[in-house]
Structure 1
Amino acid sequence: MKEFEDRFSELQADMVSICMEYAKDRADKVYIYASCEVTNIGASNINTK
């Protein structure tokens, strides 16, 4: 189980980093939504100041 948690934390940190890069570090909060279903994989983010 520890391997899953470590990998998930790495992916989460990467997603936040990408969102902050997209927002040019002007966001105070980052909301990330990710979904993985049988026929669809999607993600979106909202950056707020």
Structure 2
Amino acid sequence: MEKAATGTGAAVQVFTYPGVGHFYTDASLPDHDRAAAELTWRRSLDFLRHL
């Protein structure tokens, strides 16, 4: 997806969260990782503020 987006000239920024499970943002599940989830939500909200 990153390659396809940059191929169109779009500015792309990719964030990874090593060591976390698939549903790490859901506090009700075993994969929850509080620090990674907080960072993800902060980055998501920052992105939305700049639309």
Q: Provide the TM-score with structure 2 as the length reference.
A: 0.36
Q: Which of structures 1 and 2 has the bigger CA Rg?
A: 2
Which structure's relative contact order is higher, taking Cα pairs within 8 Å and 6+ residues apart? Answer: 1
When you count strand as a share of all residues, which structure comes out higher?
1
